[in-house]
Amino acid sequence: MQKNIQNNLITWYNKNHRHFPWRETKNPYYIWISEIMLQQTTTEAVIPYYTRFIETFDTIDKLAKASLEDVYKLWEGLGYYRRAKHIHETAQFICENFHGQFPATYKDILNLKGIGPYTAGAICSIAYGMSTPAIDGNVLRIISRLYALTDNIALTKTQKKISQIVSELLIGYDASAFNQGLMDLGATICRPLNPQCQNCPIVSFCKAKEIGQQKVLPISIKNIKHKELNYITGIITYQDQYLMIQNPAGLLENLYGFIQYELESPYRFMEEFEKQYHLPLSLVSYHGQVKHVFTHRTWHMHIYHFTLSHPYNTMYHLEDISQIPVSTAHLKVLKHYLKQK
């Protein structure tokens, strides 16, 4: 066998690849679910969620017919709940437009809600064996080092350049093994810091290693605007029940949580609540602060306990709260409050 980047990487992958449940199938539906779950989440954390999800919704049709609340409940703890909403809507779209069969062309897959070029490329190459690149952070880093590219990989033009390089490398080779080989190589050897070049199957082709720049490249400088937000978060109770609402839109769309306002005082909170819900509150106690970090914002939630003199129609006992999809941020608030109580 000729020694080249493709053969060396594919041989290494076939001998050393990591074992995950989604790698035991060619079912495009299962691969799609795994790829969406793996966005912003580690592989080890995804395994139990993936297994439960596939056991519950083993077909696209079952997922499409499920309630969004049931989907959210299985997703609880994974975060970025919009992914779950998109999966649910896409399953319904596939049932309506593709007779419940997952699309089989790159164009059709890319047109599905919540799927970008990386995910479409991964599904096409892994499930269907198509020569489509799947460009994620691992691939950008490896190709940047392999070819000693000094362009900023956070820029779209650089990502397009790398996608073209990978497209050419794929021609005539096992696209599934090659793409997954790049993923595993980036996760285990060609890591962001301190790459393990001595264990790399393609080190002899690496220009960054050749010129001693493997610990410098890639150049990746993102322009990120991060918001810091302060909230008064209300634990509002009536006897042993907690007031929770389902968020109609925004970051926590369709998830349940406590009422919170971007205000500087619990007394202002009481005024705002009465204006919105036409119910007076009694302020009981302060329970400290909980911080929750999202990708581009951080919430600082200042927790106050209030009581109602009459019940509201969305009150829940503690055991009931475990049965509804609650945002991770507000599960942290509840846990903190119960510990302080």
Which of the residues are catalytic? Answer: 35
Helices (H), 132-281: 137-146, 156-170, 175-188, 207-210, 266-277
3-state secondary structure of 88: helix
Nearest of 116, 69, 29, 81 to residue 328 by alpha carbon: 81
Instruction: State how far the Cα of 177 lies from the Cα of 195, in Å rounded to an integer.
Output: 21
- Name residue 167's amino acid: S
The answer, yes or no, to whether the previous bond of 201 is cis (omega within 30 of 0) is no
When computed from its CA atoms, the radius of gyration of the chain, rounded to whole angstroms, is: 24
Instruction: State how far the Cα of 324 lies from the Cα of 152, in Å rounded to an integer.
Output: 43
β-strand partners of 293: 298
3-state secondary structure of 73: helix
Instruction: State how far the Cα of 224 lies from the Cα of 265, in Å rounded to an integer.
Output: 30
Give the chain's length.
341
For residues 22 and 34, the answer to whether their CB atoms sit within 8 Å is yes
The answer, yes or no, to whether the previous bond of 311 is cis (omega within 30 of 0) is no
Q: Tell me which DSSP letter residue 219 carries.
A: B
Q: SS3 for 297-331, per residue?
A: EEEEEEEEEEEECCCCCCEECHHHHCCCCECHHHH
For residues 98 and 123, the answer to whether their CB atoms sit within 8 Å is no
